[in-house]
Chain A
């Protein structure tokens, strides 16, 4: 199961294809890889389809809007081929359409990869693994965790602030000036409290004998096993396989240059 894969290895397995996808400008490569990630997601994790769709579907809409923009304003390098659609004074070429679809699929790949990570990774384990595998300093590791713990507190506080402002008769902000005033009204109390809490929690941690030195024992030992490397190999390997396949079939397009 993906939830038991070492978080640092998992992050690496997601980052490498994520970054390399930036090179691909054809439809085939991101499409096949997207399908692959979705299959992996549901075959090897307990994520419910309903929950996944709930998070994923807004991004489909977003990607469509994104594609629309790309299609209307494609750079000359990509704006080639026969005109497919023509209305008003807009012409959309085959090249523009392809690039738009490719970029939309790429963004969906990012989302699917990210969901594969965030929905199967425990926050604490991720941080502990960054400390134990990637040698992140304990000071940063526990400092980040200490701050992260406050999220529910801050969310609650934001709700209370909203109510309190209503009691004071503050209406909805209008215009840029109003927006900035509103931003100030929310952020100052939130930040002031956050800073006090940060200071208190740091003192509390040091009172528990935390010095930030690297030498410490680990109750949860985060290990990297063969299984983790299989997972890494599968995700990254499949990416190169897809690239190779798309090359063999003559689809591959890197930075607007067809590679055949």
Chain B
């Protein structure tokens, strides 16, 4: 699989992991703020759930830009490894979590045989990443021991967050990025270039 990828695409996945590690930090504090705000209402659990989708965004951005099989999974895995290299207190367990989330996103792209990168597929990728990660947390964080209504409610919030913060936001950021011209050497940049040429021709 890695033979089909160019080195620059792999380094791109890695820098996405690093940049989002920095951005995640900002979100982590935001999540904590939300949690503290919701805690007195007994809804602290939702604090992180609302922003959970941001953890899947690397998968969506990388897959949308590079458009090759395995990118969604590998980019998320790399993001996990990078965070461990950066000394994340979540340690090697994070790599496992990242692999599971990445597998979720990859699943959505696999269904379309890695040919369709329209918004709906990106949203589906965010949703599947949310589903996979939720299942994993039921086990690893012991969320299974929570009351059923709470499990359903947090699940719903995580799915919405995955769809919006990973799927929609991921596409939006990538499109904005393509406009800066830095993606010229990648599938997304090329598609937009062709689009522009087509528009000019018409």
Contacts and interface: CB of A to CB of B under 8 A. Distances in A.
Main secondary structure of the interface of A (DSSP, over half): helix
Interface stretch (B108-116, B117-125, B143-151, B193-201): B143-151
A59 B32 CA distance: 12
Contacts of B173: 184, 187-188, 191
B200 to A, nearest CB: 24
A112 B183 CA distance: 41
A188 B180 contact: yes
B141 A150 contact: no
A19 B146 contact: no
A195 B177 contact: yes
A18 B92 contact: yes
A25 B92 contact: no
B93 A191 contact: no
Interface string A135-178: 00101100111111011001100100000000000000000000
Given A22-B140, A144-B14, A150-B15, A99 B145 contact: yes
A84 B2 CA distance: 57
Interface string A1-32: 00000000001001100110010010000000
Contacts, number: 200
Interface residues of B, number: 63
A202 B146 contact: no
Interface residues of A, number: 75
B10 A139 contact: yes
A80 to B, nearest CB: 12
Interface string A113-155: 1110111000100110000000001011001111110110011
A190 B90 CA distance: 24
A195 B82 contact: no
